[in-house]
């Protein structure tokens, strides 16, 4: 399984395919070719100084007579943890705040309106360890914890909606933990929060040791720049989870994630892209980068040797559109900011062509699902 030595699928294709093959492969793998954004030179300079990758692409929609284009710039941030996992908790959090601030500054230069960070961005992805301390100390109030206050400042300074996925400590309900994304308006006010609905029980993703499935349903947030929702990580394997955000009106669904190559890399390019197609919306898939090493070894419950790391988080963040086009991924190896210019009019335009919303048989599914969820249900199987 490739780690940091393999940069990206895109780089391999560019390097090894003859031009004509490359064009056809890209057509199939990425839909129509997207225009590269002409991002400011200072932004590239700052990204290079701060040692992160910067890429920008534009999704176009057809001109309409009655509606103006609805342009929004989204920013996706992927990063390594800057400090070792055994550094003091406050130092790890501050180092991450500092790192993210430097990336958000560049996003502001690029005119980003809505930015989203990776899942549990203020901490190592330590749920593989099943240890409680010090990891539970990274949990914060979604409403007024230090990270939310930090993001409120960024949001206000840069007139940017900030989606901040954190480990939440819910003091109103017995101090329990949740895997939460806080949505902060560009005014600096906390617009609300949403929680991870599906908790993985696969490989070393032992997250059910820490928190339960989210209880907030599928909220959609009306921002100045469009209606957004957040489908946290493992929720991307559940088509109905995407569907419910879309049914509630989401035009952009962010998918902040933490996932490793050995487990999911072949699913990664498909799932968020398919969700954008199936739901006539934009999706933004974000994954962290690198290998995180822990002090104590843990087992995967599979009879194999105990180990001290999770595996390789392969980055590769991308944006997908309802017309099946998508951006290339950020690299597998570096911190990065992906800027995408979206015209939200594309959602309705594709809806009017493909009609998935109109042809979806929601009443029939709802009836059948309601029956299937009953304990005494028996499936309809027609036999000879």
Measure Cα distances from 30 to 9, 239, 264 in Å: 12, 21, 19
Burial (CB < 10 A; 0-12, 13-18, 19+), residue 242, is buried
Question: Least CB distance from residue 380 to ligand URP, whole Å?
Answer: 31
Tell me, by CB under 6 A, how many residues bind ligand URP.
10
Please select the residue that binds ligand URP; options are 259, 316, 317, 327, rule is CB under 6 A: 259
Contact flag: residue 264 with ligand URP (CB under 6 A): yes
Identify which of residues 120 and 142 has a Cβ nearer to ligand URP in the complex. 120
Question: Least CB distance from residue 174 to ligand URP, whole Å?
Answer: 24
Helices 146-158 and 89-109 cross at an angle (nearest 10°) of 10
State the residue for tokens 């309809």. Answer: 380
Neighbours of 303 (CB within 10 A): 6
Please select the residue that binds ligand URP; options are 128, 182, 233, 344, rule is CB under 6 A: 233
Q: Is 193 one of the catalytic residues?
A: no
Contact flag: residue 183 with ligand URP (CB under 6 A): no
Please select the residue that binds ligand URP; options are 55, 110, 117, 119, rule is CB under 6 A: 119
- Binding window for ligand URP (CB under 6 A); candidates: 137-145, 215-223, 252-260, 323-331: 252-260
Q: Of these residues, 116, 151, 168, 196, which one is catalytic?
A: 196
- Binding window for ligand URP (CB under 6 A); candidates: 41-49, 85-93, 102-110, 256-264: 256-264
Please select the residue that binds ligand URP; options are 56, 200, 261, 311, rule is CB under 6 A: 200
Contact flag: residue 234 with ligand URP (CB under 6 A): yes
Q: Is 119 one of the catalytic residues?
A: yes
Looking at the DSSP bridge assignments, the partners of residue 222 are: 227
Q: Is 156 one of the catalytic residues?
A: no
- Binding window for ligand URP (CB under 6 A); candidates: 7-15, 255-263, 339-347, 352-360: 255-263
Measure Cα distances from 64 to 61, 67, 348 in Å: 9, 6, 11
Q: Is the dihedral of CA 211, 213, 219, 221 positive or negative?
A: positive
Q: Of these residues, 110, 116, 151, 233, which one is catalytic?
A: 233
What size, in residues, is the chain?
384
Contact flag: residue 256 with ligand URP (CB under 6 A): no
Which residues in 257-381 belong to E strands, given as ranges?
Answer: 282-286, 289-290, 293-298, 307-309, 313-314, 318-320, 336-343
Supply the Cα-derived Rg of the chain in whole angstroms: 21
Tell me: cis bond preceding 134? Omega within 30 of 0 counts.
Answer: yes
Per CB under 6 A, residues contacting ligand URP are 119, 200, 205, 233-234, 257-259, 263-264
Catalytic residue list:
119, 196, 233
């Amino acid at each position: 399984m490739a780690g940091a030595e393999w940069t990206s699928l895109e780089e391999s294709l560019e390097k090894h395919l003859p031009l004509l093959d490359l064009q056809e492969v890209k057509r199939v793998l990425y839909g129509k070719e997207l225009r590269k954004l002409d991002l400011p030179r200072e932004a590239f300079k700052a990204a290079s100084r701060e040692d992160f990758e910067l890429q920008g692409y534009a999704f176009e929609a057809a001109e309409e007579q009655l509606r103006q284009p609805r342009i929004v710039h989204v920013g996706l941030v992927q990063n390594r943890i800057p400090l070792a996992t055994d550094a003091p908790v406050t130092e790890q959090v501050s180092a991450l705040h500092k790192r993210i601030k430097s990336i958000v500054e560049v996003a502001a230069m690029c005119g980003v309106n809505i930015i989203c960070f990776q899942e549990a961005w203020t901490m190592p992805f330590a749920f593989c360890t099943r240890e409680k301390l010090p990891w539970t100390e990274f949990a914060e109030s979604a409403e007024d914890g230090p990270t939310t206050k930090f993001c409120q400042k960024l949001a206000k300074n840069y007139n940017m909606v900030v989606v901040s996925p954190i480990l939440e400590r819910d003091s109103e309900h017995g101090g329990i933990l949740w895997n939460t994304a806080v949505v902060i308006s560009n005014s600096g006010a906390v617009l609300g929060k949403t929680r991870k609905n599906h908790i993985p029980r696969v490989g070393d993703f032992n997250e059910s040791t820490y928190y339960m499935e989210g209880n907030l349903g599928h909220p959609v947030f009306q921002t100045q720049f469009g209606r957004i929702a957040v489908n946290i990580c493992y929720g991307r394997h559940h088509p109905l989870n995407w569907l419910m955000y879309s049914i509630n009106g989401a035009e952009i669904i962010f998918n902040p994630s933490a996932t490793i190559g050995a487990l999911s890399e072949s699913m990664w390019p498909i799932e968020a892209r398919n969700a954008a197609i199936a739901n006539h919306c934009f999706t933004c898939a974000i994954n962290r980068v690198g290998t995180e090493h822990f002090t104590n070894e843990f087992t995967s419950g599979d009879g194999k040797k105990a180990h001290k790391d999770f595996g390789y988080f392969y980055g590769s963040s991308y944006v997908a559109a309802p017309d099946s086009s998508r951006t290339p991924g950020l690299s597998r190896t570096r911190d990065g900011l992906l800027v995408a210019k979206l015209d939200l009019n594309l959602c309705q335009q594709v809806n009017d062509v493909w009609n998935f919303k109109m042809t979806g048989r929601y009443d029939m599914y709802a009836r059948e699902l309601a029956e299937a969820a009953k304990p005494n249900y028996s499936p309809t199987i027609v036999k000879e």
